[in-house]
Amino acid sequence: MSLIDLLREALDGPGLLTGDDMAAWSQDWTGQFAWTPLCVARPRDTAQVSAVLKAAHGARVPVVPVSGHTGLAGGSYGEGAVMLSLDRMNAVEDIRSDARLAVVQAGVILSDLHAAAGAADLNFPMTFGARGSARIGGLLATNAGGSNVLRYGNTRDLVLGLEAVLADGRVVDLMSDLHKNNTGYDLRHLLIGSEGTLGVITRAVLKLVPQPRAYVTAMVATQTLLGALEVLNRLQDLTGGAVEAFEYMPADYLKAYADMHPGTRAPFAQDHAVNILVELGATAPRDVTPGPDGSVPLMGYLEDVLATMMEDGAVVDAVVAQNDTQRSEMWARREAAAELAYARPNVLVNDIAVALDKIGIFLEQADTVLTGIDPGARTSVVAHLGDGNVHYSVQLANPEAKNAVMEAVEDVVLSLGGSFSAEHGIGLAKRPSMARRKDPVALDMMRAIKAALDPHDILNPGKLLPE
């Protein structure tokens, strides 16, 4: 039997797509990568995932796991491959309120998990602009970050257990609900962030946190990035770590947003160089119970810090959201980052991380080397300022300068002790960076692990590891 025949036998009617029906699985969101798969397999349970991988392993045909199509690094490119979509495995199997955990299938859309947890007055504290289409399997495969890493950590920090299917179809059951489990190598963390090259994650046990009773959100303008960090540190000290997001948007980013969305209100009456979206979240009654004047203490904390720093001159402007509509407007600006970056042609996206106090140095040095290589290039910058992750997108005036710009930016990042990949993953886009920058011994270890778990290299081949 051909592989297609084997897969048709293993999957039910809508479980196997070919021809024109594969269109939605033949390109990524950015539009920079397109391909023609052999077929699209859409299993409905772990047993069918196992059958697909067993058949592909026997035929030595590559399998590319695909999630919500929201990746930015070409990780789902699959020319001639079996695209393995878990979109039909989309059940939130259990919300265990007392233990504050969720058991989910990998095809669950992030916003659906938010809704299910919210119904139990809990929250899965991972969020970003693509939450309405990104799926849990993709978050796990890339160890996704997002806007709340500052308080809750990356995806890896929110996972207790996993189930995954290996290249040969064997199922590994790591579905622990324990916070402590010191029984050998942590295979869970090995699979998280492996971008589907070591196994296909099918289910997970995820941590939940209490749903904040109140949010306070503001736009704050400071003289410098270091001044913004002073705001962050004061708020963290005053609130006991209640800062959920601390997002940097420079003036040219806000202008680009206004140009793309005419008619939207500007955050301030005048332009400022350093603009920060800050959000606090709290659950304690002492922080969220309105006082006699109707004010929420959490808002008072923020206003006190901002007033003091405005007197000092470190803060030059501030607007605190007074309702959900204003809060949504503030977040809409920040969450349009990918839309703004990819609206331009010849875009190179650098997703880097440096220490918090080195972000300003990175931006200054990166701009300098960029001007030297491609004087007509334009940048679009946003940053998770609270965790050091900078999205430094470049619209190249000279497309042939792409590699030179990427290498030069990497030089700056590594000189500051940073990372050339913070949260988007490696995929195809950053394989050259891995070859140039990753420690050779670390690469040898990774290749040995890959060879042990996937000896025929069928799982997402050509991604992450350089040749």
pLDDT tens for each residue of 223-281: 999 999 999 999 999 888 999 999 999 999 999 999 999 989 999 999 999 999 999 99
Of 84, 74, 73, which Cα lies nearest the Cα of 167?
A: 84
**What integer pLDDT is reported at residue 229 of this predicted model?**
95
Of 15, 18, 64, which Cα lies nearest the Cα of 43?
A: 15
Classify the phi-psi angles of 24: left when phi > 0, otherwise alpha if psi is within -120 to 50, otherwise beta. Answer: alpha
The answer to whether 158 and 206 are in contact (CB under 8 A) is yes
Q: Candidates 3.30.465.10, 3.40.50.1220, 3.40.1280.10, 3.30.450.20; correct CATH number of 92-210?
A: 3.30.465.10
Per DSSP, the residues of 361-380 read HHHHHHHHHHHHH-TT-EEE
Planar angle of CA 286, 216, 128, nearest 5 degrees? 125
Quote the percentage of the chain above a pLDDT of 70. Answer: 100
| Angle subtended by helix axes 297-312 and 225-239, to nearest 10 | 140
The yes-or-no verdict on residue 299 having pLDDT over 80 is: yes
The answer to whether 360 and 225 are in contact (CB under 8 A) is yes
Q: Which two tokens stand for residue 30?
A: 């950015």
Planar angle of CA 270, 271, 276, nearest 5 degrees? 115
Per-residue pLDDT reduced to its tens digit, 27-83:
988 888 899 999 999 999 999 999 999 999 999 999 999 998 888 888 999 999 999
Q: What is the DSSP letter of 217?
A: E
The yes-or-no verdict on residue 159 having pLDDT over 90 is: yes
The answer to whether 135 and 108 are in contact (CB under 8 A) is yes
- Element at 449 (helix H, strand E): helix 440-453
Per CATH, domain 3-85 is 3.30.43.10: yes
Same fold, 3-85 and 338-424: no
Q: What is the DSSP letter of 438?
A: S
pLDDT-based confidence at 314, cuts 50/70/90? confident
Q: What is the CATH number of domain 338-424?
A: 3.30.70.2740
Average of pLDDT values for 392-419?
A: 96
**What integer pLDDT is reported at residue 30 of this predicted model?**
83
**What integer pLDDT is reported at residue 456 of this predicted model?**
97
Quote the percentage of the chain above a pLDDT of 90. Answer: 88
Q: Which two tokens stand for residue 360?
A: 């300003």
Q: Residue with structure tokens 């939207």?
A: 264
Q: Which two tokens stand for residue 95?
A: 């919300």
pLDDT-based confidence at 293, cuts 50/70/90? confident
* Residues contacting 245, CB < 8 A, separation 6+: 147, 148, 150, 277, 278, 279, 384, 386
Neighbours of 221 (CB within 10 A): 21
Q: Which fold has domain 214-335?
A: Alpha-Beta Plaits (3.30.70)
Three-class secondary structure of residue 17 per DSSP: strand
pLDDT-based confidence at 12, cuts 50/70/90? confident
Per-residue pLDDT reduced to its tens digit, 393-405:
999 999 999 999 9
Distance CA 107, CA 67 (A): 7
3-state secondary structure 306-326: HHHHHHHCCEEEEEECCCHHH
Q: Which two tokens stand for residue 77?
A: 């490119």
Name the pTM for this structure.
Answer: 0.93
Average of pLDDT values for 436-440?
A: 95
Per-residue pLDDT reduced to its tens digit, 184-231:
999 999 999 999 999 999 999 999 999 999 999 999 999 999 999 999
Q: Where are the domains of the chain?
A: 3-85, 92-210, 214-335, 338-424
